[in-house]
Structure 1
């Protein structure tokens, strides 16, 4: 495979492979090793993941890794406001693909609570995350072709608040007109401090989006993924 050329900011690592399965295994190996290291010196470790089809092989590979999963807190970076039985539910995706095998004993912290809207549920969801040790240990993000990541959508009226580094909130309700469902997302202020951060991508279109994001790195409200394109990020990609 010809290595793609990207003009990334300094300090960003790239991990490119021929297939999604190879990338998923590399990412699972790296994350498991990092979590083991954290658990040597910390009471608990945290793992925040994203939904969609791209991370499925990563979830399945990671679920089989040997580590002290009972001391790992798993949460979503964002969620659609749908019932857990809905096929669009990221919670359903994580429970069926990551919280299996060895990882079945991990503690899942749900950002999807019972209120009818994300806004009404923020208090309960923030209380759920009060158990979380901060900063996050591991954050795995995806990216849309509009430059969104988690549920930080460019067209969401709440974006400026969700992207503010001044907010003390862990979560924000999001209502992007471009999306079918309302959303809830971890805030940029919380996510940007993660000890280990990876961007997991698949497809040539995502490389083109990443190139566009790198062209104007400071315009974060136009493409929120730009807020994470900094030293320490690891990009995992396959065609």
Structure 2
């Protein structure tokens, strides 16, 4: 698949551009069906984007549901929690009125019952998503589609919605939306920053095994165009 490249000269301009695009997606979703939904990624990269998007007063945030594309299986008190990042940076200002649906549903392990609880929770989000924002690791993972993941094949092929996964490079056990669910969106973004990530992306765009660089599953699919947002 050919990806649409949006290149910015700074992180601030990227955050402004991505926030503008996502706000437009949410506004359009609300106008069309009275509600909108957004799935975001965690990690350090999206913090500036979250802070910028949170200030958008033109979005009727009370009609917006926000969730994560994946999560470490940790409580929100942990500094490893993506939910904690979302609450501290995105669910602020006008965006504090949005409904947040965390993926961690309690317990020490994402066992079958825990995943059932998570699946029930995310079923409350309007579908399809209006926007999904993915990141990418230096190992070629996206969401929690990690090389060596014990449930990678299922995560890439299952009808979902969510699945537990463990991988050598993932740290804690994880819960992730399946690829099929993430592609059920009005807009699909890949947000990366820095030259090293650009080199990883170039490698991922080359022909090669998906299990070695699982982001290839997103880049090679023909269901939803990928909009790249990148800055040096």
Shift of 1:182: 0.9
SS of 1:215's equivalent in the other structure is coil
Aligned to 1:4: none
1:70 corresponds, among 45, 58, 62, to 62
Contact 2:139 2:147 in 1 (8 A): yes
Which residue is equivalent to 2:226? 233
Q: Could you say which residue in structure 1 is the equivalent of 2:20?
A: 29
> Can you list the C-alpha shifts for 1:117-154, whole angstroms capped at 9, x where unaligned?
11241010011012122222110000011110011101
Q: CA RMSD in A?
A: 1.3
Is 1:153 the counterpart of 2:153 in the alignment?
A: no
Shift of 1:168: 2.7
1:223 positional shift: 1.4
Structure 1 residue runs of 4+, over 4 Å off? none
Gaps of 5+ in 1: 1-8
**Does 1:223 find its partner at 2:216?**
no
- Equivalent position to 2:171, from 180, 190, 193: 180
The answer to whether the 8 A contact 2:75-2:106 is kept is: no
Is residue 194 from structure 1 mapped to residue 194 from structure 2 by the alignment? no
Which deviations, in whole Å up to 9, do the C-alpha atoms of 1:93-137 show, x marking residues without a partner? 000000000100100111110122112410100110121222221
* Pairs within 5 Å for 1:35-74: 35-66=26-57, 67-74=59-66
TM-score (norm 2): 0.94
SS in 1 for 2:132: strand
Within 5 A, what are the aligned runs for 1:41-190?
41-66=32-57, 67-120=59-112, 121-164=114-157, 167-190=158-181
**Could you tell me how far apart the structure 1 residues matched to 2:167 and 2:111 are?**
13
Supply the distance in 2 between the matched residues of 1:137 and 1:190 (Cα, whole angstroms). Answer: 12
Deviations 1:66-115 (A, max 9, x none): 21100100000111111211111100000000000010010011111012
CA–CA distance in structure 1, aligned partners of residues 34 and 110 of structure 2: 31
